[in-house]
Amino acid sequence: MKKALVCGAGGFIGGHLVNRLKSEGYWVRGVDLKQNEFGNNQADEFIIGDLTLLNVAMNALEGGFDEVYQLAADMGGAGYIFTGFNDASVMHNSALCNLNILEASANAGVGKIFYSSSACMYPEYNQLDPENPKCSEDSAYPAAPDSEYGWEKLFSERLYLAYQRNRGLDVRIARFHNIFGPCGTWQGGKEKAPAAMCRKVAEATDGTFIEVWGDGKQTRSFLYIDDCIDAIRALVKSDFSGPVNIGSEEMISINDFAQMVIDIANKKLTINNITGPQGVRGRNSDNSLIFKKLGWKPSLTLRQGMELTYKWVSKQVAISVTA
């Protein structure tokens, strides 16, 4: 039986990944600061621990692993990473997790190690035109991410590649483009636009409005969680190290996205654009490389993924109202 360690298993993507690995017959150990808050975790063993501490990373690696998945990070949506208030902790905590997990993995002689980077590492100068952003993998340099979160991701990508060159690790690096779906953070300040839109629409009554940050003309693409997990598994099974985009090419403006959620909910609401943290003006995944290397492309449309997500978030809203 293959053994996998999932770092960040208490989080959104980590929780889904643990369950996929279990369904594929793996023995799985999870490690995180916290358990998955939605009970969405079938790990065989779960260590509550802080991976900014080297001894916690070393303990997590004990016993030997075929595959390590590194998803632990101090992260959130625009309301968390673009305000400037969390820059020091984001860089400090995430960099230490990566440094410790790599050192412990190299010492333990693991098979493959997967790292979850982000589209936030791409330079801002290629993401100024909302209709025509450029995020191909070869456009990463000259580096100019618009957030410290993005700079840490870029530094850590380089760290993983250095451990591949010098310490014998077999590395896989993905650059995620806004992943969404059930069991993700939907309130509290770290939620991203998909969950935030669902929550706002679910809470609003007909004839009122929802608030959307910025002028709503900024663009993004969003990838449903099951497609993301498929792509992670395809990358790890392949001989390709990356870095490679894992995202959707279905770009949409944020106001159109908000309207999509209003339509899904079948509510009569208007959109009120307000000042808020916005990040880059436009972003879209470029899937040429992942299709060429792995033959992967998303299976769900944005609308299909958002219908599933709205159903889940609106249920959480209803539960929280009655609690």
Q: What residues are annotated to the active site? A: 149
User: Smallest Cα–Cα separation from 237: which of 118, 114, 117, 119?
Assistant: 114
Find the part of the chain contacting ligand GDD (CB under 6 A) among 61-69, 84-92, 155-163, 211-219: 211-219
Kindly identify the residues of this chain, within the stretch 74-133, that bind ligand NAD according to CB under 6 A.
Answer: 74-75, 93, 97, 116, 118
Residue 182 C-beta: closest distance to ligand GDD, Å = 16
In a 13 Å sphere around the CA of 162, the CA atoms on its Cβ side amount to 10
Q: State the number of binding residues for ligand GDD (CB under 6 A).
A: 25
Per CB under 6 A, 276 contacts ligand GDD: yes
Instruction: Please report how close the Cβ of residue 272 comes to ligand NAD at its closest, in angstroms.
Output: 25
Angle (nearest 5°) at CA 283 between 80 and 151: 50
Q: Which is nearer to ligand NAD, 48 or 162 (CB)?
A: 48
Residue 28 or 119 having the CB closest to ligand GDD:
119
How far, rounded to the nearest angstrom, does the alpha carbon of residue 142 sit from its chain's CA centroid?
24
Binding flag, residue 298, ligand NAD (CB under 6 A): no
* Cβ neighbours of residue 214 closer than 8 Å, sequence gap 6 or more: 254, 273, 275, 276, 278
Compute how many other C-beta atoms are within 10 angstroms of the C-beta atom of residue 203. 15
Q: Of residues 88-147, which lie at the interface with ligand GDD (CB under 6 A)?
A: 118-120
Q: Which stretch binds ligand NAD (CB under 6 A): 28-36, 138-146, 213-221, 277-285?
A: 28-36
Is the bond preceding 243 in cis, omega lying within 30 degrees of 0? yes
State the residue for tokens 């609106």.
314
Q: Please, which residues have CB within 8 angstroms of residue 299's CB and are 6 or more apart in sequence?
A: 226, 227, 230
From 175-183, 204-212, 256-264, 272-280, give the range in contact with ligand NAD by CB under 6 A: 175-183
The C-alpha angle with vertex 52 and arms to 51 and 56, in degrees rounded to 5, equals: 45
Say whether residue 220 binds ligand GDD (CB under 6 A): yes
Asked if 11 is part of the footprint of ligand NAD (rule: CB under 6 A), the reply reads yes
Closer CB to ligand GDD, 187 or 241, in the complex? 187
Residue 135 within binding range of ligand NAD, rule CB under 6 A:
no
Q: Which residues does 76 contact at the CB level (< 8 Å), separation at least 6? A: 86, 185, 189, 190, 191, 192
Closest CA to 65 of 35, 30, 117, 99: 30
Residue 29 as a binder of ligand GDD (CB under 6 A): the answer is no
Q: Footprint of ligand NAD on this chain (CB under 6 A)?
A: 8, 10-14, 32-34, 50-52, 71-75, 93, 97, 116, 118, 176, 178-179, 185, 192
